[in-house]
Amino acid sequence: MGLKNKKMEDSIAKKWRQLSGENHWKGLLDPLDIDLRRYMIHYGEMAQAAYDAFNTEKASKYAGSSRYAKTDFFSKVCLENGNPFKYSVTKFLYATSKIDLPDAFIIKSFSREAWSRESNWIGYVAVATDEGKAVLGRRDIVIAWRGTVQTLEWVNDLEFILVPAPKVFGNNTDPKVHQGWYSIYTSEDPRSPFNKTSARNQVLSEVSRLVEKYKNEEISITVTGHSLGAAVATLNAVDIVANGYNKPTDPYLKACPVTAIVFASPRVGDINFEKVFSGYKDLKTIRVRNELDIVPNYPLIGYSDVGEELKIDTRKSMYLKSPGNPSSWHNLEAYLHGVAGTQGSRGGFKLEVNRDIALVNKTLDGLKDEYLIPVSWRVVQNKGMVQQPDGSWKLMDHEDDDF
């Protein structure tokens, strides 16, 4: 390991509490602290992994599930090489919705033998390994929520109805949240083997188990997501703190900090939601928003932003086609490129973190042609078709895990 990497790892381990927002990121955002850049990119990559593993091929009976099993998940989504932050996935999360949502939210297979008619894989829980803990300075529990995979049309298709959130706030009906985000987070469906309990119950039971397991160590809970995933992550983070899931059962042990690091997040709730959210001392959130991305402006009326905001503007990057388009302004890999190079109020753009620009074109046509990076280059080999010994071809695009 190079001396520079070793230094970076030591400083993240020493100042992780600041990087997780202990002081609301005071003095770290403008100019953007080098360790905070790396830290935010790390959590953004954990959210990106949920997109990279998601099977969107409707011809597959596994459409809407994770292509990869939990065991070597991070190597399959290419987060092992050159990455000092080591985690292992402990649980996959599945969601459904009791209310009708645009097609972008739940992908359905064309197959009569589909793995599930009602549910989609929506993310995972992971925990830092011993090696990861040494770099991160504590045992970090990460919850990553997947966003929508289709174009931005869902923004116009969605109704922005505010509802109370009794499962999160109990009898306090003052805070209101977006009905769609709440439904995805809290719906169950007895017909689905994957959603006999809601995404909420799945994630809270796993967080409880891990908090108990590591109660004698220093721990943190970090929730991340992009787009719809950012909205669900925000709900999940407040839920964990509001209902004490960040505390071990032993009354002598203290609660651990919960931080939401979210990208391109639509608004989640009203002014009362924001008030309740900001009242929890163990809860911090930072939202990254790209200047021209429309999603963080939604819903337009009756909703409030929570936490701190880091503004970026990918138009300033000399690597990207100018000015871009709504898809490139909202894309998570483009966001992470923006975090790597933003210069804040100083203006301009300079990659302070050695982040490969090729990642921008993973699912986009975002880079200037002169960089010679293929457009939307991340494709599963032969779209999951595998040649058999007799020469025929079969769709084999799933590693068995939860089913």
Query: Residues 109, 227, 265, 317: which is the catalytic one?
Result: 227
Dihedral (CA of 122, 63, 71, 192) sign: positive
Query: Residues 33, 293, 313, 397: which is the catalytic one?
Result: 293
Query: Residues 42, 178, 226, 330: which is the catalytic one?
Result: 330
Using alpha carbons, list the distances in angstroms from residue 128 to 140, 222, 226: 5, 11, 21
Edge-to-edge strand order for the sheet containing 219-226?
Answer: 87-95, 120-128, 139-145, 219-226, 258-263, 283-290, 308-312
- CA nearest to 215, candidates 252, 258, 243, 253: 253
CB 85 within 8 A of CB 136: yes
Q: Where are the alpha helices (DSSP H) in 360-402?
A: none
Quick one: three-class SS letters along 79-90?
CCCCCCCCEEEE
**Catalytic residue flag (residue 227):** yes
Tell me, rounded to whole angstroms, the distance of Cα 68 from its chain centroid. Answer: 17
CB contact burial 346-372 (16+ within 10 A = b; e otherwise): eeebebbbebebebbbbbbbbbeeeee
CB 175 within 8 A of CB 165: yes
Active-site residues, by number, are: 227, 293, 330
